[in-house]
A and B are shown apart, each in its own frame.
Chain A
Amino acid sequence: MSRREANGPAVDLPLGVDAAVFAEPWQAEAFAMTVALHDKGLFSWSEWAQALSAQVKKPGAAIDGHDYYEHWLAALESLLVSKGLAAKADVDAMAEAWERAAHATPHGKPILLENDPRPTR
């Protein structure tokens, strides 16, 4: 994993310039999906805070916080499972479909799910 350089400072309590709000687009999307699902009333913000807290307090969380949105995503997935909104097996299968689609997409072209050579839907 070398995804973390963009998040910058590794010192204890970094000063000065901060990283961008989101280091990668998927982080912004995971954040926005959570806000949108809450807006729709699918969970309360307290439920969300509990789910996120359960992830960030697991041992192994990075000292510099660069893996924060990885915890965020894991929290969102676990909340969707517990609410019966997206089963883990379905998410696994759909993620694999997206990865196959990405591999099958020529460089420079947008990655579309339709590009999956082995659609299972």
Chain B
Amino acid sequence: MSHDHDHDNELDPFAARVRALETILTRKGLIDPAAIDVIVDTYETRIGPRNGAKVVAKAWSDPAYADWLRRDATAAIESLSYTGRQGEHMQAVFNTEDTHNLVVCTLCSCYPWSVLGLPPVWYKAPPYRSRAVIDPRGVLEEFGLTLPTTKKIRVWDSTAELRYLVVPMRPDGTEGWSEERLADLVSRDAMIGTALARQPA
């Protein structure tokens, strides 16, 4: 809405409908406005890709943890107190010399919230959702990631029940680094598969 109002307020139609739902559901005792505020705060400020970066850094540093993450990512991630709210299962997919992994949700926007927060706009937009499966190599190039043609790209389509976390390859030259320092090399996009881990400066 671009026009200004000095004398009265206007709710945009979407805001009015959301308020209407809140009013109706609160009166029915189905939601608690205070709980709604807590959820918003959690997703805006507390949950984000730092969680996933810590999972990856631990897997890089601790072979036993990496093995657990490979076998039962749901439990391995929960052990760090990053718990999914939707009862979803997690699967960690590890990049290797031969294979690069890329995650999409062709259906809607399923995403591993507990470790990455809420998805970026492009992840939810039709071009990525439709093209990641058909032309993953082309999509990665648009992200500035050109992989050798010998490298296989495996695309994982998320669902409401199963979400994927890409474990990028650990960059060379990081031997002996602490998990904290390693985590700084792990971007959100690296855990979706549209980037690699950062190289150490």
Chain A 1-40 per-residue mask, 1 if CB under 8 angstroms from chain B, else 0: 0110001110011110011011011101111110111111
Interface window among B65-73, B75-83, B113-121, B178-186: B113-121
Q: With both chains docked as a complex, state the minimum distance between the C-beta of A23 and any C-beta of chain B, in angstroms.
A: 9
CA distance A2 to B144 in the complex (A): 31
A61's nearest neighbour on chain B, judged by CB, is B126
B64 within 8 A of A: no
**Are B7 and A53 neighbours in the complex by a CB distance under 8 Å?**
no
In the complex, what residues of A have CB within 8 A of residue B6's CB?
Answer: 107
**Are A13 and B32 neighbours in the complex by a CB distance under 8 Å?**
no
Please count how many residues in chain B sit with their CB below 8 Å of the partner chain's CB atoms: 59
Residue of B5, B18, B121, B159 near A107 (CB, 8 A) is B5
**Are A13 and B108 neighbours in the complex by a CB distance under 8 Å?**
no
In the complex, what residues of A have CB within 8 A of residue B108's CB?
Answer: 49, 52-53, 56
Tell me how many residue pairs across A and B have CB atoms closer than 8 Å.
188
CA distance A13 to B11 in the complex (A): 31
Residue of A14, A32, A45, A48 near B39 (CB, 8 A) is A32
**Most interface-central of A12, A37, A39 (chain B CB within 10 A):** A12
**Most interface-central of A7, A31, A65, A77 (chain B CB within 10 A):** A65
Q: With both chains docked as a complex, state the minimum distance between the C-beta of A101 and any C-beta of chain B, in angstroms.
A: 8
A to B CB contacts below 8 Å, 26 in the list: A18-B120, A18-B121, A25-B15, A31-B40, A32-B40, A33-B22, A36-B32, A38-B86, A40-B30, A40-B31, A45-B160, A48-B160, A53-B107, A53-B108, A56-B108, A62-B126, A63-B125, A86-B21, A86-B24, A94-B23, A98-B16, A98-B19, A106-B8, A107-B5, A107-B7, A107-B9
